[in-house]
Amino acid sequence: MPKGKLFGLSTELLKKIGWTAEGLHEKSRKLIITNDEARLKFIITKTADVTAYVEYGAADVGIIGKDVIVESGVDVYELLDLGFGKCHLMMAVPKNKKRPRLEDYSHTRVATKFPRIAENFFAGRGMQMEYIKLNGSIELGPIVGLSESIVDIVETGTTLRENNLEEIVSIMDSTARLIANRVSYRLKFERINNLVTDLKTVL
Amino acid sequence: MTGILETPHGTRDFLPKEAAAKRVIENRLAKLFASFGYEEVVTPTMEFLETLTTSGGHSIESNLFKMFDQNNRTLALHHEMTTPIARLAASRLKNFPLPLKLSYNTSVFRFRKNQPQRQCEFYQAGVELLGVSNAFADAEIIALAAQSLQVAGLKDFTICLGQVEFAGGLMEQNNLPPEIQSKIKNAIERHDIVELEKIVDALDLEKSAADSLKKIPKLHGGTEILNQARAMSKNEKSLRAVDNLAEIYKLLKNYDVAEKINFDLGIIRDFEYYTGPVFEAYAPNVGYSLAGGGRYDHMLKDFGSDCPATGFALGIERILTAREQQGIFEDARTREIYLGYAENKIDAAIKKASELRAAGKIVELALNPQTKDDAEKSQAAKNYGELIYLEG
């Protein structure tokens, strides 16, 4: 389970199908919360770490945004689109510095938390860019002259507007996904498949 | 000066204890392969790039370690052994009587970023059976894979058996264009079920046909899966695939490994050359497959010598990890005798050590004369079972 925006929605959804545990809330200081009766262990991690736990099989299944899955490039099974956590990844530039075509930004600097997705996107269009990896407040980049543009996730667009940035191209849409480790999927197929079926009925 | 003490990305050292454990497993596997009549071959560590990419290997090209020879031809380190053995079978072994039963044990190389238990250089042992296209050959290969894991000491493992022609038939049955077929195959291989459903929903298919395609990665379980799969097959190719699995399973019962087998028609494997039954082996708490293989009937044709083939490879490091997970910590090093001696017994000590070694004992001869006290200390520190001391 990822801390942050997806946590509440995920636990609520899982609770509907009886997958819950006493004391399972985000403010809990415990890292692992167990429900012995239901044979469940909830591991609470930072958002970007969920994929690692699942890829290595330390967790059998996890809930995480599609954007994080693609950026981490991990080899996990993607079983279900949970529909929530909707956002999209896009490129934005300061309103007053817009250029006519996307190609006109070639060889400029782009600040992003998602360098891998950004590079795939631009490389697919024959564009080389200079990627500056930031870990937060991406929109600062163009304001202070660190970069010409940003590639970031947007939910409502408020942050963009407040910072006089304008989206010029959408890169990918993202929602929360149920993921599974490839071996767990086979060795615990019945439980995992039931989880998928049950979740489908409450989505 | 840190550089000179590092090893390149994705490579590792095996210290004596690790190397001993690896050697024990490799020896047991070699013995098992030989007991089935498979003979070991050794091929060059590097091949011409075009050899390795001949049979559907283009997707792997960017992961190969490459270099140039003196004529500027591109060479690459072998990334698996199936392709080099196919080359060998189509060239120097071409006129040997079939079937060819070959085995190998070597390191292979693939460039990749950090991934679980996927080093750039890693060790594989496996077999290839060339020249036979029947289910009997596939059953032998699968049984041998299961027995390999058993002789390696693993008790808890599962082999999941699929058939690539099943999904292939379902796609042909719906007349899907090749680019859609490869997208669907890719989504099934990665088990990206969200993507699979998206692709299928975008096609204009009848509901039952669409549902069948979406169901492929969920066809997992015992023999009941074969009945479900048969009911979904409205074409010759898929039906043949299901019958083939049933036949293999029937044979596997005689090998006493049927209880280790599950069916999983979502297994397609990541090499493009597979044409029939395919399988992967898993153990609990190890997040990746231990072994994998299957039938590849077209590869030798790509080398100019049409011949059906099947085989498997297992990852030595992954087996070592699985052994640890299953609590097998035996120290494979044997330290039998420590031989110490007084100042005036050097000659006698060398003779004694030679005699003992000739009799099959493992003997460490002290490199300097010692007092008995010191010899006892050395024996204990080095963990030898027995001390022989020649007094002055």
Q: pLDDT tens for residues B176-232?
A: 998 999 899 999 988 899 999 999 999 988 998 999 999 999 999 999 999 999 999
Residue B228: strand pairing partners? none
Task: Collect all residues of chain B within an 8 Å Cβ-Cβ radius of residue A56.
Answer: 116, 287
Task: Collect all residues of chain B within an 8 Å Cβ-Cβ radius of residue A81.
Answer: 194
Residues A64 and A50 sit within 8 Å (Cβ to Cβ) = yes
Q: Which of A58, A80, A182 is nearest residue B194 as measured by Cβ atoms?
A: A80
Rounded Cα distance between A64 and A9, Å, is 11
Give the model's pLDDT for residue A5.
87
Which residues have C-beta within 8 Å of that of residue B208, sequence separation ≥ 6?
none
Using CA of residue A25, residue A28, residue A32, residue A36, what is the dihedral sign? negative
Say yes or no: A153 and A195 in one domain. Answer: no
- Phi (first) and psi of residue A146, to 5 degrees: -75, -35
Interface test with A, best of B156, B191, B264 (most A CBs within 10 A): B191
- Calculate the alpha carbon distances from B331 to B23, B315, B338, B362, B363 in Å: 12, 20, 18, 15, 18
Mean pLDDT, all residues of chain B: 92
Contact: B193, A183; criterion CB under 8 Å: no
Q: Confidence band (pLDDT; 50, 70, 90) for B57?
A: low
Closest Cα in chain B, distance from residue A25 (Å): 27
Domain count, chain A: 2
Rounded Cα distance between A6 and A3, Å, is 7
Give the model's pLDDT for residue B119.
87
Closest Cα in chain A, distance from residue B86 (Å): 29
Closest Cα in chain A, distance from residue B286 (Å): 7
Residue ranges in chain A modelled with pLDDT below 70: none
**Most confident option among B155-159, B187-191, B282-286:** B155-159
Task: Collect all residues of chain A within an 8 Å Cβ-Cβ radius of residue B62.
Answer: none
CATH of domain B1-153+283-333: 3.30.930.10
Give the model's pLDDT for residue B100.
96
Say yes or no: A145 and A110 in one domain. Answer: yes
Say yes or no: A168 and A195 in one domain. Answer: no
Rounded Cα distance between B246 and B181, Å, is 25
Closest Cα in chain A, distance from residue B318 (Å): 13
**Residues constituting chain A:** 203
Give the model's pLDDT for residue A22.
86
Assigned token pair, B341: 């001696």
Rounded Cα distance between A137 and A113, Å, is 9
Say yes or no: A168 and A185 in one domain. Answer: no
Task: Collect all residues of chain A within an 8 Å Cβ-Cβ radius of residue B195.
Answer: 78
Closest Cα in chain A, distance from residue B220 (Å): 7
**Residues constituting chain B:** 392
**A176, A158, A168, A156: which is closest to A78 by C-alpha?**
A176
Say yes or no: A93 and A66 in one domain. Answer: no
Say yes or no: A32 and A78 in one domain. Answer: yes
Q: Is B2 on the interface with A (CB under 8 A)?
A: no
Give the model's pLDDT for residue B117.
63
Interface test with B, best of A67, A187, A194, A200 (most B CBs within 10 A): A187
Closest Cα in chain B, distance from residue A61 (Å): 12
Q: Is B63 on the interface with A (CB under 8 A)?
A: no
Specify the 3-state DSSP secondary structure of A87.
strand
Give the model's pLDDT for residue A185.
94
Domain range for A36: 5-85+175-202
Which residues have C-beta within 8 Å of that of residue A177, sequence separation ≥ 6?
A63, A64, A65, A66, A69, A78, A79, A80, A81, A82, B194
Say yes or no: A92 and A167 in one domain. Answer: yes
pTM score of the predicted model? 0.86
Q: Is B85 on the interface with A (CB under 8 A)?
A: no
Assigned token pair, A188: 């615990």
Give the model's pLDDT for residue A188.
94
Count the neighbouring beta carbons within 10 Å of the beta carbon of residue B283: 25
Rounded Cα distance between B388 and B366, Å, is 11
Q: For chains A and B, count residue pairs whose Cβ atoms are closer than 8 Å.
A: 62
Q: Confidence band (pLDDT; 50, 70, 90) for B115?
A: low
Task: Collect all residues of chain B within an 8 Å Cβ-Cβ radius of residue A180.
Answer: 191
Q: Is A46 on the interface with B (CB under 8 A)?
A: no
Say yes or no: A57 and A131 in one domain. Answer: no
Say yes or no: A91 and A57 in one domain. Answer: no
| Residue bearing the bigger pLDDT, B331 or B85 | B85
Contact: B191, A185; criterion CB under 8 Å: yes
Count the neighbouring beta carbons within 10 Å of the beta carbon of residue A124: 8
**B166, B144, B324: which is closest to B244 by C-alpha?**
B166
Residues B254 and B244 sit within 8 Å (Cβ to Cβ) = no
Say yes or no: A159 and A190 in one domain. Answer: no
Rounded Cα distance between A1 and B357, Å, is 59
Residues B169 and B236 sit within 8 Å (Cβ to Cβ) = yes
Specify the 3-state DSSP secondary structure of B54.
coil
Q: Confidence band (pLDDT; 50, 70, 90) for B116?
A: low
Tens digits of residue pLDDT in A5-51:
899 999 999 999 999 888 888 777 888 988 998 899 999 999 889 99
| Residue bearing the bigger pLDDT, B272 or B359 | B359
The interface residues of chain A toward chain B in range 128-147, judged by CB-CB distance below 8 A, are: none
Task: Collect all residues of chain B within an 8 Å Cβ-Cβ radius of residue A77.
Answer: 190-193
Report whether the peptide linkage leading into residue B277 is cis, meaning its omega lies within 30 degrees of zero. no
Assigned token pair, B325: 């997970």
Say yes or no: A146 and A198 in one domain. Answer: no
| CA A134 to centroid of chain Cα atoms | 15
Residues A171 and A89 sit within 8 Å (Cβ to Cβ) = yes
Specify the 3-state DSSP secondary structure of B194.
helix
Say yes or no: A151 and A80 in one domain. Answer: no
- Domain with residue A155: its CATH number is 3.40.190.10
Rounded Cα distance between A5 and A10, Å, is 9
Task: Collect all residues of chain A within an 8 Å Cβ-Cβ radius of residue B218.
Answer: 193
